[in-house]
Structure 1
Amino acid sequence: MIMVIETLQGLGRWGEDLAVQFLRTKGYRILERNYKNKIGEIDIVASDEKNFCFIEVKTRRSLAYGQPYESVTYHKQMKIARVAFAYLKHRFGKVDVNARFDVISIIRDGLGRARIEHIPHAFDLP
């Protein structure tokens, strides 16, 4: 059981590292990785030319359980939004800034190759 958990954690970390590289090649500035507060965690906080981007990264080895982005449920979206609001309030003292919620979906095949799908504006503010 421990070995499975370590493998899943390793896959998640690999996916987040790949997502950061991908975002940097697209011109994003990475502000935080694995930002945590008492509410929860956001995988990546980044900025493009116009927005703060709160990004959830989902990585899978197959489509047996559906697309990775499909696991970002409404409940998970609301939790990410609450963490993001707390981040903005803590960092800037306000929440009325340009922000969006993205998902990066990664499928890693048996050869270690990845298919990356970036979904900007994956969900809206509550």
Structure 2
Amino acid sequence: MAAKDDLGRAGEQRAAEHLAANGYQVIDRNWRCAQGEVDIVATMPGMLVVVEVKTRRSVAFGHPLEAIDARKATRLWRLAAAWIAAHPQEARGRRLRLDAIAVIGSEPATADLEHLEDAL
């Protein structure tokens, strides 16, 4: 497994822990369908939150959230809709929100974390 993949998984784990510590219930991770993958799906009262996680060792090549351009945001909305279609019970009665989390540092467990709610 590539070091980049390990870093990404560790960043997603850190993001999931951050969400749980802040009152979110993580209900799905790395959900895949024909259109792609959703990193994290979480809930909080009245809300279904689809989270895109970007992990980088540094900002030397730009902030990780800069990688979420308009094309990627549109794709994430389509993926969120596909997740809802596959899981209607979990989504029922909840408003959809897309968040982004950046994890920046060589050691994800202690790296800086930035959570942008309703970012996309």
1:19 aligns with 2:20: no
Counterpart of 1:120 in structure 2 is 117
Larger radius of gyration: 1
Q: Which residue of 2 aligns with 1:104?
A: 101
* 8 A contact 1:102–1:118 mirrored in 2: yes
1:29 partner amino acid: Q
Percent sequence identity over aligned pairs: 34
| Larger RCO, structure (CA 8 Å, separation 6 or more) | 2
Q: TM-score, normalised by structure 2?
A: 0.90
Q: Quick one: distance in 2 between partners of 1:35 and 1:57?
A: 13
Counterpart code for 1:15: G
1:29 and 2:25 aligned: yes
2:11–2:108 contact (8 Å) kept in structure 1: no
Matches of 2:19 and 2:79 in 1, distance apart? 21
Structure-1 residue corresponding to 2:69: 73
* Structure 1 partner of 2:49: 53
Kept in 1: contact 2:41–2:50 (CA 8 A): yes
Query: Structure 1 residues 96 and 86 mapped into 2: Cα distance closer, same or farther (>3 Å)?
Result: farther
Structure 2 residue runs without a partner (length 5+): none
Of 75-84 and 108-117, the range deviating more from structure 2: 108-117
Structure 1 runs of 4+ with >2 Å offset? 93-97, 109-113
Indicate the SS of the match to 2:117.
strand
Residues 27-81 of structure 1 show CA distances to partners (whole Å, capped at 9, x for unaligned) of: 1001100011111111000011221000000000111111111111111111111
Could you list the runs of 5+ residues in structure 1 that have no partner in the other structure?
Answer: none
Task: Give the structure-1-normalised TM-score.
Answer: 0.86
